[in-house]
Structure 1
Amino acid sequence: MKRVQLVSPITGQLIPLNTVKDPVFSQGMMGQGFGIEPDQDQVVAPVTGKITMVAATLHAIGFTTADGLEVLVHLGIDTVELKDNPPFKLNIKVGDEVRAGDAIGTMDLAAIQTAGKQTTVILAVTNSNDKVSQLAPKLGAVKAGAVGAEVDLKAAEEKKPVATAATGDKYDQLATQIIENIGGADNVKSVIHCITRVRFYLKDEAKANDDTIRNLKGVIDVAKAGGQYQVVIGPAVTDVYDAVVKQLGPGFGDDDASMVAMEKEANKAAWKKMTPWQKVKHSFSALIGVITGSMIPVIGLLAASGILKGVLALLTSFKIVSATAPTYVIINAMGDSVFYFLPIFVGFTAAKKLGSDPIIMGIVGGVLTYPAIVNIATTGKVTSHLLGMAINADFFGLPVHVASYTYSIFPMIAGAWLAAKLEPWLKRVIPTVLRMIFVPLLEVVLISGVILLFLGPIITALSGALALGIVKIYELSPAISGLIIGGFYQVLVIFGLHWAIIPIVANDIATTGHSYLNAIVSATMVAQGGAVLAIAMKSKVASIKELAWPATISAFSGVTEPAMYGINLKYGRAFVTASIGGAVGGFLTGLMHVNMWGFAGSLIGFTSFVNPKGLDFSFWGFWIASLVDIIVSFTLTYMFGFSDADVKNVKTAPKKKHLGEQAA
């Protein structure tokens, strides 16, 4: 029995393959191997041999050795999604000969972490079933180029005779029969494969002869889903796929898409094995991942805008700039535009994450922030009320409630998810010659309609009921109300359920000149700032510190989105510890009957706690509650809410293709 060595492709901690956070690799579906949690950027060749594959996104490299081992190095998890700005630099190409330990490129670990992906490097011997008797990884700290595993090769008699002429003829013959019966090569747009299926994108599925293909020797079944004509093959799928691509030509195949399809199928298999509670946890984690992942591209801009809005609040508080002056209007537009038009940006980023068309979802966001729609929501004539909603418009005579969607994100994420389901169906039923016009037309109409006519009113009704309950609790006990609002207000913000509280605050200030409720809301902002401040001071990861410090300033300036979506919510426990701090701050604010005479909250809004009739205890109560708020959220987060290990272990959002998966 021959023994060969695989060297580590990067410096870091070598871990068992079954512990990597990717079900395709951890379940051994890509073969035996190991993972490395890297701490340096340099990537080296793991074997001596030939480069057989370099992914277009540079995240995966294939090698073949003289012994026939086919080795895949996968740089990071879900990094295929970073195709617009790949964090990799490679100095090799297909066909190059390399020696084990040769430097072949680098991966930008900080950029991958900033994008919300995991940096884990995975090595897998993809033809393990044919070649490998045993693979023994050397766990622990490892240097790039040092031995990472020893591999015992199978004896010659154990090898699967894949190279014989008869076997090759079998797959070539099956590929020919399949191509003939799907309408010929002229009917094929492209082809990929997953773990069990060859998946064709056909110009006209009606030309395919389903029954004939089902009865071909080597074919298990035929399925149609997601705009694909799927021929179920089983374990020999890669052989049949290779034979198909050889006959169609290399321009028809897509190895990157095939790898993603395999990951989709593996994730669906993993879902089937979960218990109901695991499915609930996974679904909630996936939702949080989609929310934070959709916000990441604009987090830096939100932080900068939050700081600018804080500066503007100070300028107006100290009467340096009038709120009616053109100077104020211009600076406010600079700071407020990203929030006002947030549905457009979130629609675009959520669509990329979930697999719908980013441009179409950006247009849907434009519909929701269209001035006339915003005007109906804010100043439209209210004709009646239903379930706590103001009926302020009609649609073909049907009375409806039009809500305001500026500053909101959840309706757009829900819309992007719905579009990911709707779009493949539209492409299947609409003839090709009409798709360019009618697919985007119907998507915009249907998704906008669902949000405006159904989702918005549902959120409004829920938030109205919550607001009514909060008011009742406050009337019974300000301290208990402060505890509840302080602990859960930012959760309401995530799902857009906080909007019903804002009119209550506005009405309080308009009618009485002050708002006890707004003072409690302010405490939740301080808590988010205290938590992200702890992370900024504790973390040694450069990308985290670069985001956490601006997010801290933004939160203390009254804008919590960068702290929440960029850091606290993304790393889970930090959001919980921040919410505990908010509960304590809100409790003290209610207990001391802290009052507020302005809208601007958090630390930057300290002048809002000055009674126009003369300084009273509300000002000092605000500082006491805020100080305790910061101490609690900072301490809990520093001790229990975050560690740099969370950056590597954070569960990212499901890849957009996962949510579009149909029958596997």
Structure 2
Amino acid sequence: MKQVQLLAPIKGQLIPLSDVQDPVFSQGMMGDGFGVEPTNGQVVAPVSGRVTMVAATLHAIGFVTASGLEVLVHLGIDTVELKDKPPFKLNINVGDDVKAGDNIGTMDLAAVKAAGKQTTVILAVTNTADKVAQLTPRLGNVTAGAVGAQVDLKTATKAAAAPVAAKGNGGKYDDLASQIIMNIGGVENVKSVIHCITRVRFYLKDESRANDDVIRDLKGVIDVAKAGGQYQVVIGPAVTDVYDAIVAQLGPGFGDDDASALASEKEANKAAWKKMTVWQKVKHSLSALIGVITGSMIPVIGLLAASGILKGVLALLTSFKLVSATTTTYVIINAMGDSVFYFLPIFVGFTAAKKLGSDPVIMGIIGGVLTYPTIVAIASTGKVTSHLLGMGINATFFGLPVHVASYSYSIFPMIAGAWLASKLEPWLKRVIPTVLRMIFVPLLEVIIISGAIILFLGPIITALSGALAAGIVKIYELSPAISGLIIGGFYQVLVIFGLHWAIIPIVANDIATTGHSYLNAIVSATMVAQGGAVLAIALKSKVANIKELAWPATISAFSGVTEPAMYGINLKYGRAFVTASIGGAVGGFLTGLMHVNMWGFAGSLIGFTSFVNPKGLDFSFWGFWIASIADIIVAFTLTYMFGFSDADVKNVKTAPKKKHLGEEAAPVE
């Protein structure tokens, strides 16, 4: 039996393919191989042969050897998303001949980590089923160019000349491309074409003109499928080459590399989903949801942290009577600190759309609709004409009674809208003629998505929030300590999904009618806990980009704004959010047990003056500090010991595509 060696493409710790944090590779969908956790960014050729593929984003390279092995080297996980600023430099091109161990480029490990991606380098033999009898990786520390695995070739394996990648002018796959195009009805029957990891996906004007049986029988075609308005030609590992040859013959304007990258990821996720158990699907869905939430927030986390600190400074200035809330100085500084929260739907619409595959500009405009001054005015000052399911009906839409909610400071409606747009947009592009798309796709998308949020999603969230608020009031009336425990433990979960808004009018009414709010004091404790947890991470982590984010997130949380701590660190790394919530439960329990009262809106540590009774200092002030210190100790200790390790940074993966949030500048957000 013939044996060949695969070299490690990079220096680091060589691990089994099953340990790679990507189900497409770890479950062997792309063939046998191994992974390397790199410690150096120099990349070498793992085999001698010809370069058959270099991804446009430079994150993946394909080789074929003289013995016919097709080898894929994938630099990092989810690094295809870094197309705007690829952290790779390659000195090879498609068609180049290389020798095993040749330097072929570099990978900026720090830049990959800073972007929140994993640096794991993966090697897979994509034609394992045809060529490989057994692949044995050599686990442990390896240097770039050292033997990474021994491959036993199947006895039927015969030497094959390295194919030349398709160039549209005599390439290996040109004839297959011509046959496919001819049998789908010719160039004139093609609207556009994309590809995923195994299929070339055509949008045809008339699918009935395609000759399915002839295409299925073409050498190099596995099957034909029709789904989602696409005519799909299943190719297998050579899909990129066939796609390139097809696009070269169709001409400019037909291919879409961004859509192809998105399709590849979706197909990989779909394949992995089919192999999961019910419990794995639940965990995967939750992970995907958290991934989309944190991924949508990461681009604005720095701004949120900076704004939170500025809002904290402003709270101090007003608390100590250095700046009056009635002056233009206050208005200007408040605008600087509050604008990112007030217009958050616009920013989140843009980032969530990029994450979920819809149009970022269109979703930004939809965010603008939700924060449009007259819409905000209806939500805040509109006259309530009736009530339905606990919601105040404050508007009509073509005679239909509507509850218009306030969407400033919120993100869940925008993430849900971006998800809906990712489903609506491809359908609109299929049914609307090309010459009309530029106007009518955004027009219909803005109308449909904005309408869905305002008419349906907003009222649903309001109804859920109202029910939760009523339950919280009942629990508080039953026992302040028990309500403190429950609210302290789960309030920040409500913030994630925007369901915390119903508590605001309760707090506002308390302060307006009695001058104080016991409930607001409990909410304040949840902010302190998030700060305590992220403080532990700031001190424990040795990962530079984590420390850089954790320190300002800590200051922001203690200044009353928990989003940077929650979405940038705690929620993203899972256990830290749980340990922070346990700290919040302890702080909330003590706050309720000691009947701590609060006379202002600003909470967390920065809002300590809100716990001073205007009639004279009483135990609420000291109770606030006791509960806050306990909050920090519990959240800090649990997070430091159990809630986070730097290994979590390597293992976390920004999950595929799915949903939401809320905000807070004071406990009453």
> 2:341 maps to what in 1?
339
Partner of residue 83, structure 1 = 83
Matching of residue 596 in structure 1 with residue 598 in structure 2: yes
Q: Which deviations, in whole Å up to 9, do the C-alpha atoms of 1:438-496 show, x marking residues without a partner?
A: 11111111111111011101101111111111111111111111001000000000000
Partners of 2:245 and 2:256 lie apart in 1 by 14
Q: Is the 8 A contact 1:214 1:220 kept in 2?
A: no
- Residue of structure 2 in register with 1:411 after alignment: 413
CA distance in 2, matches of 1:250, 1:374: 45
Pairing partner for 2:461 from 459, 462, 467: 459
- Give the Cα–Cα distance (whole angstroms) in 2 for the partners of residues 163 and 546 of structure 1: 47
Task: Give distance in 1, aligned partners of 2:255 and 2:470.
Answer: 58
Describe the superposition over 1:303-333 as per-residue Cα deviations: whole angstroms up to 9, x where unpaired.
1111111111111111111112111111111
Aligned to 1:103: 103
- Aligned-pair distance for 1:390? 1.1
Give runs of aligned pairs for residues 469-548 of structure 1, distance below 5 A: 469-548=471-550
Indicate how the Cα distance of structure 1 residues 638 and 149 shifts in structure 2: closer, same or farther if over 3 A, else same: same
Aligned to 2:589: 587
Counting only pairs closer than 5 Å after superposition, residues 111-510 of structure 1 correspond to structure 2 as: 111-155=111-155, 157-159=156-158, 175-188=177-190, 190-194=192-196, 196-202=198-204, 204-205=205-206, 208-209=209-210, 222-232=224-234, 244=246, 248=250, 261-510=263-512
- Partners of 2:55 and 2:253 lie apart in 1 by 14
Compared with structure 1, are the counterparts of its residues 8 and 216 closer, same or farther at alpha carbon in structure 2 (3 Å cutoff)? closer
Residue-by-residue CA offset, 1:363-385 (whole Å, 9 max, x unaligned) = 11000000100011001111122
Residue 71 (structure 1) aligns with: 71
* The 10-residue stretch of structure 1 (100-109 or 230-239) with the greater mean CA deviation from structure 2: 230-239
Q: Under a length normalisation based on structure 2, what TM-score does the superposition of the two structures give?
A: 0.91
Matched with 1:608 is 610
Partner of 1:662: none
Distance in 2, matches of 1:293 and 1:305, equals 19
Instruction: Specify whether residues 599 and 237 from structure 1 end up closer, same or farther in structure 2 by C-alpha distance, changes over 3 A only.
Output: closer
Q: Tell me, which stretches of 5 or more residues in structure 1 are unaligned?
A: 657-664
Q: Which moved more, 1:109-118 or 1:55-64?
A: 109-118
Whether the 8 Å contact between 1:210 and 1:222 is mirrored in structure 2 is no
User: Secondary structure in 1 aligned to 2:122?
Assistant: strand
Q: Is the 8 A contact 2:297 2:348 kept in 1?
A: yes
Partner of 2:16: 16
Letter in 1 for 2:532: G
Q: How far off its partner does 1:66 sit? A: 4.3
- How far is 1:95 from its partner? 4.2
Structure 1 range deviating more: 82-91 or 534-543: 82-91
Q: Is the 8 A contact 2:50 2:162 kept in 1?
A: no
- Between 73-82 and 97-106, the greater mean CA deviation after superposition: 97-106
Give the 3-state SS of the residue equivalent to 2:454 in structure 1.
helix
Q: Separation in 2 of the partners of 1:322 and 1:103?
A: 64
Distance 1:98 1:512, change over 3 A: same
- 1:650 pairs with 2:649: no
In 2, the alpha carbon distance for the partners of 1:144 and 1:236 equals 27
Using the TM superposition, give the Cα deviation of residue 242 of structure 1 relative to its aligned residue in structure 2, in angstroms: 7.1
Superposed displacement of residue 71, structure 1:
2.3
- Rate the CA distance shift 1:74–1:637 in 2: closer, same or farther, 3 A: same
Mean alpha-carbon deviation: is it higher for 571-580 or for 10-19? 10-19
Of the structure 1 ranges 188-197 and 391-400, higher mean CA displacement relative to structure 2 is found in: 188-197
Aligned residues: 651
Worse-matched range after superposition: 234-243 or 171-180: 234-243
> Unaligned 5+ residue runs, structure 2?
164-169, 659-669
Query: Shift in Å at residue 426 of structure 1?
Result: 1.4
Q: Determine if contact 2:183/2:215 at 8 Å carries over to the other structure.
A: no
Cα offset, 1:7, TM superposition: 2.1
In 1, distance between residues paired with 2:3 and 2:258? 31
Structure 2 counterpart of 1:501, one-letter code: I
CA gap of 1:170–1:360, structure 2 versus 1, over 3 A, is closer
304-313 vs 110-119, which deviates more? Answer: 110-119
Separation of aligned partners in 2, 1:48 and 1:116: 33
Alpha-carbon contact 1:341-1:369 (below 8 Å) kept: yes
Q: CA deviation at 1:142?
A: 1.8
| 1:171-220 residue CA offsets vs partner (Å, 9 max, x unmatched) | 87664443123231344455444455332244x23573356657756667
Letter of the aligned partner of 1:481 in structure 2?
S
Flag the 1:159–1:243 CA change in 2: closer, same or farther, 3 A.
farther
Contact 1:23 1:263 in 2 (8 A): no
> What's 2:553 paired with?
551
Instruction: Report the Cα distance in structure 1 between the residues aligned to 2:419 and 2:222, rounded to whole angstroms.
Output: 32
Of 533-542 and 26-35, deviating more is 26-35
Segment of structure 1 superposing worse, 499-508 or 55-64: 55-64
3-state SS of paired residue (1:123): strand
Q: Is residue 49–residue 162 contact of structure 2 (8 Å, CA) maintained in 1?
A: no
Partner of residue 661, structure 2: none
Matched with 1:561 is 563
Structure 1 residues 459 and 98: CA distance shift in structure 2, 3 A: same
Q: Give the direction of change, closer, same or farther, for the CA distance of 1:163–1:42 in structure 2 (3 Å limit).
A: closer
Q: Output the CA distance in 2 between the equivalents of 1:408 and 1:310.
A: 20
Q: 274-283 or 638-647, which moves further after superposition?
A: 274-283
CA drift at 1:506: 1.0
Amino acid at match of 2:145: G
Mapped to 1, the partners of 2:559 and 2:584 lie a distance apart of 16
* TM-score normalized by the length of structure 1: 0.92
Partner SS, residue 544 of structure 1? helix
3-state SS of paired residue (1:498): helix
8 Å contact from structure 2 (residues 126, 237) kept in 1: no
C-alpha displacement of 1:54: 2.0
Report the AA paired with residue 576 of structure 1: V
For residue 35 of structure 1, what is the aligned residue in structure 2? 35
Q: Is the 8 A contact 1:227 1:427 kept in 2?
A: no
Q: Tell me the amino acid that sits aligned with residue 38 of structure 2.
A: P
Q: Distance in 2 between matches of 1:579 and 1:373?
A: 34
**In the aligned structure 2, how far is the partner of 1:475 from the partner of 1:125?**
64
Decide whether the 8 Å contact of 1:115 with 1:296 is kept in 2: no
Matched residue of 1:278: which SS?
Answer: helix
Tell which deviates more after alignment, 116-125 or 496-505.
Answer: 116-125
Moved more, 442-451 or 48-57: 48-57
Q: CA deviation at 1:143?
A: 2.1
Question: Relative to 1, partners in 2 of residues 1:455 and 1:248: Cα closer, same or farther, differing over 3 Å?
Answer: closer
Deviation at 1:129, TM superposition (A): 3.6
Letter in 2 for 1:528: Q
- The match for 1:631 is 633
Name the counterpart of 1:6: 6
Measure, in 1, the Cα distance between the counterparts of 2:38 and 2:232: 38
